[in-house]
Amino acid sequence: MSWNPWSQITQSRKKHVVGITTRAPENSCRWLQDFIRREYPDHIDVVHLPITNDNRDDWKEIVNACSAVILYHTKQQGRVNITDVEGALYEEELQYLNDKLGKEKVVVLLDDMDDISEEEKRRILRTQTSLDRLSSHLILIPEKNKSETARKKLTEFRTALSEGVKTSQKKESSGFLSSLPSLPSLHSMFSRSSGDSENNGTKNNNKWECTGPPPAGSTSGKPSRPSQSPLPPYRIGIFSRCAESHYTWLLDRLKAPDRRRSLDIKTVCITNDYKTFSSGLETCQFGILYHTLKHGRLNITDIANSLYDGELREMSHSLGKENVVVVADDLKSNEPEEKEEILENQPSIATYAKDLFLFTEEEKCVGRLEAIREIIQRNLGRSRQPERMVV
């Protein structure tokens, strides 16, 4: 067989390997290989993994040696038929990538698209639902200005590549990966410094509330250690189409001082202007999606006239599922059976959020409030802020 990516992989012993797998000719995705090599010249190498009818075993073996994989398809091959539709090209391959690498390390890229809008992306995800279930991101690239568009979508690339790099050393393998020397983590490369984060935050006009311990140098019980710089505030966003007056009680509870790290809390009103939501999400590290039954009905996602389909998905992709919770307020019941019924009818909540919390109009349960705070507190020491492109 002429295809022999092992020779390239064994030359990449000091780099992490990202596979680009496709049924399209290699020259179709050459620009993507070159783009990734340019963006990460010292940390990542790229391997082309062709999918044919007679290389199944070899393909699986190479996939297992990759830190992350991009499933590539070009519309020049006919139509967008990745999975779930008649004549789908990649159903088995996408399932295998998810099973072996995990969802967070799989990206699907559709090239040469006529329309790369968010509306088109949502339409594709509605008709080919396995894309959401089995991959972390769907990226649309036009026929022209490919690299320029890809650079604007670096957040999506970096999230998946970062997850692949951070976990690749933990994979048990009797082959290539087990013989690799210890490799440097890309986590710092993909994380914005606290100074950059602060500078970006000052440009945002969304409402911020700050709470927590006094800054270093202020009068407190113990003098601060000069050798230790205070951690930057942990930024929490509450996103909703409802009026802020509905969740003042939640804001007040979150403002209670946290002994470990100060919290910045901002509220973002979701409207039909996507830029408002997007700019609010840019500077958050943790997101709470809030909805109240007083707004009409409990139509968060997956049902007719749902209000937050795109927003919940984007919060999960941008912040990570572990850093997103959903709050449903002013219900008649907050019993476990009610929660189970909601999750059954609106399954995307469980797909894209860490948990769903129910509150009744009469009772804002202290236990559930503390559970939210506990999720936030667990993230304080390991918080990450993916670098985002300023377009």
The answer on pLDDT for 172 being more than 70 is no
Q: Tell me the three state secondary structure of residue 62.
A: helix
Q: Which CATH superfamily is domain 6-189 in?
A: Toll/interleukin-1 receptor homology (TIR) domain (3.40.50.10140)
CB-CB neighbours of 161 under 10 Å: 26
C-alpha 217/C-alpha 66 separation (Å) is: 47
pLDDT tens for each residue of 114-141 = 999 989 999 999 999 999 999 989 999 9
- What is the per-residue DSSP string for 153-206? THHHHHHHHHHHHHHHTT---SSTGGGSPP---SHHHHBPPHHHHHHHHHT--S
Domains 6-189 and 194-213+229-380 share a fold: yes
- Nearest partner of 186 among 389, 390, 391, 386, judged by Cα: 386
Tell me which residue of 149, 156, 294, 267 sits closest to 207, measured CA to CA: 267
Distance from C-alpha of 292 to C-alpha of 294, rounded to nearest angstrom: 5
Mean per-residue pLDDT for 300-315? 90
Does residue 168 register a pLDDT over 60? no
pLDDT of residue 206: 47
What pTM, to 2 d.p., does this model score? 0.45
Rounded Cα distance between 281 and 303, Å, is 24
pLDDT given for residue 72 in this prediction: 96
pLDDT of residue 207: 46
At residue 148, the pLDDT reads 85
Partners of 47 in the β-ladder: 19
pLDDT for 65: 83
* Residue 173: predicted pLDDT: 36
Decide if pLDDT at 220 tops 70. no
Rounded-to-integer distance, Cα 323 and Cα 380, Å: 11
pLDDT digits (tens, 9 = 90+) for 64-118: 888 889 999 999 888 899 999 888 999 999 999 999 888 888 999 999 999 999 8
pLDDT reported for residue 380: 61
Report the DSSP pairing between strands 207-211 and 137-142. unpaired
Q: Tell me the fold of 194-213+229-380.
A: Rossmann fold (3.40.50)
Whether the CB-CB separation of 264 and 206 falls below 8 Å is answered with: no
CA neighbor of 300 nearest in space, from 279, 273, 326 = 326
What's the confidence (pLDDT) of residue 257?
A: 60
Lowest mean pLDDT among 75-79, 97-101, 199-203, 264-268: 199-203
Please report the pLDDT score of residue 71 as a whole number.
95
Mean pLDDT over 369-390 rounds to 59
pLDDT band at 264 (very low <50, low <70, confident <90, very high): confident
Domain extents for the chain? 6-189, 194-213+229-380
Asked if residue 259 has pLDDT above 60, the reply is no
| Cβ proximity of 75 and 111 under 8 Å | yes
- Is residue 291 predicted with pLDDT exceeding 80? yes
Would you say the C-alpha torsion 226, 208, 271, 308 has a positive or negative sign? positive
Distance (Å, whole) CA 40 – CA 273: 34
In this structure, of 208-212, 280-284, 307-311, the range with the lowest mean pLDDT score is: 208-212
For the chain, give the mean pLDDT.
Answer: 75
